[in-house]
A and B are shown apart, each in its own frame.
Chain A
Amino acid sequence: MATITQQPAVGGTPAGLPSGEARQRTFLRLADLLSSWAFLLPNLLGVALFVIFPVVASFVLAFLHWSGSRAEIEAIRWAGLENFRDLFADKAFWQSMYNTLVLMLGIPLRLFGCLGIALLVNQRIREVVLYRTLFFLPTISSATAIFILWQALYNPDVGLVNRLLAWVMLDGPNWLGDPNWSKTALIVTGVWRSLGGMTMLLYLAALQGISESLYEAADIDGASAWKRFWHVTWPLLSPTTFFVLIMGVIHGFQGGFQQAYVMTRGGPAGSTMTIDFFIYNEAFFTSQRMGYASAAAWVLFAIILAVTLIQWRYGQKHVHY
């Protein structure tokens, strides 16, 4: 509060001794400034307390050994870089990193799937709104419910997936019980859930923003449907693709906890434990190593930042606006 009242006062008082009128003007300006800050204050305080403070606290925590309990506040020890050193030596961390990267293979699948669906529902068909709603269904259903549904679908004995596979004479694996298949199962569920969702809508909006005259010009040049897509549509969609990829990578790195928690609890044999699952595990489930978990969170942040910057620089060269 002190800074807020001081700041306008410094800016508002003229150097010389103010006359009565000038003093009133100063007062009005001060009141104006104060009321402006009053608009900002609720949100600012909230953001300070629940964003800025946690960021700082998390950074400090990353260099401490602490269970987070108030009773053990005496037991806080300075760790220096120990948390980071232990982290890089921790097999579970590397495994979770590997798992996350493998699960991110779903991003390109999702991208092409969504583009395909967008191209389909962009066609001139009368009942297209119905299809769009049906495609939208998994996206707007509760994620927990969807993951529970798929956990049941993957059941090796009674689940629908293996039943359909048996129908085409294939012997389905124990999807969620087999470490070799669990990640595939999670990717399929993730792609299925997002096929008609946000990415599809973004592509659809972008498709409809492409000027008709470009296609006409391509037609006059005798371009085939494929060439028309490859030389007109795809380049003009590149800003959307770029946006979707950047967001997908950011979410891919720090997501996956809910799906893994509901469907597999991170198992079998840690094969679906993602980085954020690893962090929450360290902080809340198996151990209460708040410092260690914070260190892992910062490493994750650094990775996300680096990858996003690389993508950004690549995008500057290859995206057509």
Chain B
Amino acid sequence: MKINWFGYRPGRPNASQSIALRVVLLACVATMILPFLWMVSTALKDEKAFQTDPMGWLPAIPPYKAAGTLSIDCVRATNEDFEDVLLADFEECEAAKAPKAVARAGQGALALTYGFPREGGAGRAEAVCAVKPSREAGRATMISFWLHGDGSGHRLRVRVSGKGFTYRCGEPLPITFEGWKEVYCFLRPEEFDPLGRALLQLHRESGGDDDDLVPVAAIEEVAFRLESVSRAEQVWARLTHSFRVAWSSMPFGRFFLNSLFIAIAVTIGQTLTSSLAAYAFARLEFGGRDKLFLAYLATMMIPGTVLIVPTFLLMRWLDWFDTYWALIVPAMFSAYGTFMLRQFFKTLPRDLEEAARIDGCGKLRVWYHVILPLSRPALATLATFTFLGSWEAFQWPLFATKSMHMRVVQVGLSSFQDKYDVQYNLLMAAALIVMVPTLLVFIFNQRFFTRGIVMSGMKE
């Protein structure tokens, strides 16, 4: 059965009726859309904008700043044993960590003063922290420092150099925050930072690769360079702030790849095994076929709640817990897919198939060259639904995995929620990151859904 969007509708509204209808429809649409608008508006704010004005629909963006001063304090290196080593004489280093500390440019801290030409002009400002050599401090894995930001959106680059080596930034850090904040520069490649800190990834440019660590004592200077941005870049940096923090604080890329890989594998597996079995149930003759099919139908009645505990134990017994196997294999076999395809195969005309058989095609070739091409709409519907189901799966991946790198998108998002309880700007940004790609895919494949839903509803 097909939905006929432009087909008969009872009654033809006159002008006043159709206005009334539109008012009602728009009111309904508003309740559907308003939460999404709030979501986007919240995600566009940074922490400060959210704290000061959680109600505002539009994030406040400060005016363009061409001149100002940043303070840098407590530049230090972290060694392999997670011990911090101060790289120069910073007085009152602890004071900078206090949340109420004010900007103390010049008071022992390093000042990075800039005066760029007005908007758009390229400009640079530099401050260099000359390092006092420290002995026997191990090897450096990370450089960190306190930075007093001014929310100007200009971009900070950090360079760490010494005898025979230089580390440079991969991507600069936009100064979208105000007040003191700790910035961490990884000297070793890190995918993400679970603490959601301001991050810089430094790459070793000369004298070895990223995996060779240099001794802390060999670091001679840490240079900070501020690059000017245009107004547009500044606005963009402000608006994407929450997204950047969310993205860098959890391995969302890995989550997406996991979900994608699992969904593709499950979809291929399920379509394949279901269409093979459905062909056997629909066309091949063997004893007990219909009884077996009835048994298949009966298995569809069993609630997943009953299955989940023993399947979990089975996974542990097979040593599949926390592996892709646990997420893919149990989902690959579906009685529902077999049932749906069998119903569809039954409706196909037999003539083509018989002609192929007479021409000497074996069953496998008939299945592949006749049945499958004729069933494209049904296969597409099943594949879309399987993909969606796998992508949306939540309970099973939650129970069957425990390590961060095995998490799928849905579960990853919920662990993100554990960390940023009421940081709604970050939560909304993360939720949007998860939501938008799939939303686009599904909007463009809408007809498969509507068809599939109507098909599954009319299976009686």
Contact = CB atoms under 8 A, between A and B. Distances in A.
Given A124-B12, A297-B303, A54 B314 contact: yes
Contacts of A70: 316-317
A47 interface: yes
Contact of B32 (A35, A53, A196, A284): A196
Contacts of B3: 201, 204-205, 208
A208 B7 contact: yes
B36 A117 contact: no
Contacts of B338: 43
A149 B306 contact: no
Contact of A123 (B9, B35, B309): B9
Contacts of B361: none
Contact of B273 (A43, A128, A134, A158): A43
Contacts of B277: 39-40, 42-44
A158 B50 CA distance: 9
A145 B303 contact: no
A115 to B, nearest CB: 13
Contact of B453 (A47, A163, A198, A262): A198
Contacts of B434: 142, 144-145
B446 A158 contact: no
Nearest to B438: A142
A298 interface: yes
Given A142-B409, A205-B457, A294-B310, A137 B428 contact: no
Given A135-B32, A144-B394, A205-B3, A40 B276 contact: yes
Interface centre among A42, A132, A148, A254 (most CB of B within 10 A): A148
B206 interface: no
Contacts of A49: 314, 333
Contact of B333 (A7, A46, A152): A46
Q: Which of B277, B313, B395, B439 counts the most A-chain CB atoms under 10 A from its CB?
A: B313
Q: Is the interface of A mostly helix, strand, loop or mixed?
A: helix
A27 interface: no
B309 A294 contact: yes
B45 to A, nearest CB: 11
Highest count of chain A CB atoms <10 Å: which of B13, B307, B446: B307
A235 interface: no
B333 A143 contact: no
A280 to B, nearest CB: 7
B299 A52 contact: yes
A160 B31 CA distance: 11
B427 to A, nearest CB: 6
A138 B32 contact: yes
B1 A205 contact: yes
A152 B4 CA distance: 38
A46 B305 CA distance: 18
Nearest to B399: A284
A144 B428 contact: no
B274 interface: yes
B233 to A, nearest CB: 29
Interface stretch (A15-23, A55-63, A85-93): A55-63
Interface in A9-38: 11, 33, 35-37
A88 B162 CA distance: 71
A36 B395 contact: no
Contacts of B352: none
Interface in A274-311: 275-276, 279-280, 283-284, 290, 293-294, 297-298, 300-301, 304-305
| B12, B31, B309 — most chain A CB neighbours (10 Å) | B309
Contact of A300 (B24, B25, B305, B453): B305
Top-5 shortest CB links A-B: A46-B333, A43-B277, A57-B310, A158-B54, A145-B431
12 contacts: A36-B285, A46-B332, A58-B310, A120-B24, A141-B439, A143-B410, A145-B413, A152-B424, A155-B422, A160-B34, A205-B458, A301-B305
